[in-house]
């Protein structure tokens, strides 16, 4: 009978915990998932009770083009409104191909404001199904473009490789990142606020009015209900509330609605914290703990079906219908597409 014996040293309190996973029929991947779950529970239970219901905010598609709001005006409104609710740092995913003469001022603004700048690739999306060499080159190009900024500390975000990507490529990229001192990041929930913003922008482009107060209610309900559900599921699985990193999008609705969102999360008992507080903590960051990209790590642990879903960030028909339902509830059916 083959045995996998793992000994974990825990310093608080001082103890040694031995775990034996045995059995001829146990697959390595199953053993790794069980071990990761046990490690998260052990360390979470020992160290992280103080992190109950803590959330960091991340914004994808930073430096996206101007829309109904000018890009710089949107950035300033977003950061100003975050400051209003005592959120002094968020994570901004930078795709460096988007750095142009028109957007570099916005990047400098985020840098000066102390926002955490994250390497999300140069020309490729790090969601793409490409080989490890292409990933490495792309990360290096983006790193070169970001290295002059004070708020960039070589944090990198590459979700696709973990969410169903090639195992060999994942191993190679992990080694590449570790050897060069890149810092891992992860998210626990990817919002579809970009779809809601798309519907809003179409309405504005058609010179049709939109009741922002009602749309804000849709935005808040859509996000808070999902975040609360995720937290409840995590508590059932792990026995405590893990820190969440919520992936939003840098768009007009975020700038308009972020105050209401943070207020609603605070009312539910959540506290918004700095992303660096999470990613500098080897216990809180499951990448450092488990040796892999922690994107969607809860799904990896509990084996939920969509942990390996293709086209991870493509909105499904069911997800669209859910958003349409929220719009109809608020009397905003005119934003729902006809077909």
pLDDT per position as a tens digit, 155-211? 998 765 555 556 777 778 888 888 998 988 888 888 999 999 999 999 999 999 999
If asked whether residues 63 and 109 sit together in one domain, one would say yes
pLDDT of residue 164: 54
The helix-helix angle for 212-238 and 28-47 (nearest 10°) equals: 100
Q: Answer yes or no: are the C-beta atoms of 322 and 225 closer than 8 Å.
A: no
Mean pLDDT computed over 32-60: 59
Model confidence at 58: pLDDT above 50: yes
Q: What is the pLDDT of residue 287?
A: 53
Average pLDDT of the chain, as a whole number: 79
Cα–Cα distance, 58 to 286 (Å, whole number): 17
The answer to whether residues 25 and 65 belong to one domain is no
Please give the pLDDT value at position 162.
54
What 3 state SS string does 155-217 have?
Answer: EECCCCCCCCCCHHHHHHHHHHHHHCCCEECCCCEECCHHHHHHHHHHHHHCCCCCCHHHHHH
pLDDT band at 282 (very low <50, low <70, confident <90, very high): low
Report the pLDDT averaged over residues 285-314.
48
The answer to whether residue 123 scores a pLDDT higher than 90 is no
Check residue 6 and report its DSSP letter.
E
The answer on 41 and 168 residing in a single domain is no
Q: How far is CA 87 from the centre of its chain?
A: 17
Structural domain count of the chain: 2
Residues 139 and 203 in one domain: yes
Residues 14 and 123 in one domain: no
The yes-or-no verdict on residue 36 having pLDDT over 90 is no
Dist CA 121 CA 107 (whole Å):
15
pLDDT of 65 > 50? The answer is yes
Instruction: Look up the CATH number of the domain holding residue 223.
Output: 3.20.20.370
- 131 and 241 belong to one structural domain: yes
Calculate what percentage of the chain has a pLDDT beyond 70: 70
| Beta bridge pairs of residue 247 | 58, 190
What pLDDT is stored for residue 126 in this prediction?
53
Same domain, yes or no, for 24 and 124? Answer: no
Residues 267 and 284 in one domain: yes
Other C-beta atoms closer than 10 Å to the C-beta of 107 total: 25
State the pLDDT at residue 238: 78
Residues 23 and 166 in one domain: no
Residue 114: which domain range? 52-335
Q: Is the pLDDT of residue 303 over 50?
A: no
Answer yes or no: do 171 and 43 share one domain.
Answer: no
More confident residue, 282 or 94: 94
Q: Name which of 113, 173, 177 is nearest 149 in CA terms.
A: 113
Q: Same domain, yes or no, for 18 and 143?
A: no
Within this chain, do residues 215 and 287 fall inside the same structural domain, yes or no? yes
pLDDT, position 169: 74
pLDDT of residue 161: 54
Q: What is the DSSP letter of 279?
A: H
Question: What's the pLDDT at 189?
Answer: 85
State the pLDDT confidence band at 289, using cuts at 50, 70 and 90: very low
């Amino acid at each position: 009978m083959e045995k996998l014996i793992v000994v974990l040293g825990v310093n608080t309190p001082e103890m040694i915990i031995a775990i034996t996973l045995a059995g001829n029929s146990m697959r390595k991947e199953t053993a790794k998932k069980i071990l990761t779950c046990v490690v998260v529970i052990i360390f979470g239970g020992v160290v992280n009770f103080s992190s109950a219901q803590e959330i960091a905010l991340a914004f994808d598609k930073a430096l996206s083009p101007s829309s109904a709001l000018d890009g710089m005006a949107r950035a300033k409104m977003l950061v100003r409104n975050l400051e209003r609710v005592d959120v002094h740092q968020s994570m901004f995913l930078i795709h460096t191909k988007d750095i142009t003469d028109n957007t570099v001022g916005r990047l400098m603004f985020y840098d000066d404001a102390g926002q955490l700048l994250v390497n999300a690739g140069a020309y490729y999306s790090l969601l793409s199904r490409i080989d490890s060499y292409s990933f490495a080159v792309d990360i290096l190009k983006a790193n070169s473009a970001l290295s002059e900024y004070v708020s960039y500390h070589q944090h990198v975000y590459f979700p696709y490789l973990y969410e169903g990507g090639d195992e060999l490529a994942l191993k190679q990229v992990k080694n590449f990142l570790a050897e060069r001192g890149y810092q891992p990041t992860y998210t626990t929930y990817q919002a579809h606020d970009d779809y809601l913003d798309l519907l809003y922008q179409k309405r504005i482009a058609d010179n049709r009015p939109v009741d922002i107060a009602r749309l804000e209610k849709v935005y808040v309900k859509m996000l808070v209900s999902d975040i609360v559900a995720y937290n409840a599921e995590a508590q059932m699985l792990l026995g405590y509330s893990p820190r969440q990193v919520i992936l939003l999008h840098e768009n007009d609705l975020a700038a308009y609605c972020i105050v209401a969102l943070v207020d609603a999360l605070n009312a539910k008992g959540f506290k918004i914290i700095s992303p660096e507080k999470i990613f500098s903590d080897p216990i809180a960051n499951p990448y450092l703990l488990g040796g892999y990209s922690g994107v969607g790590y809860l799904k990896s642990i509990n084996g939920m079906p969509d942990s390996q879903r293709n086209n991870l960030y493509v909105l499904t028909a069911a997800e669209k219908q859910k958003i349409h339902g929220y719009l109809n509830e608020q009397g905003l059916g005119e934003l729902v597409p006809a077909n």
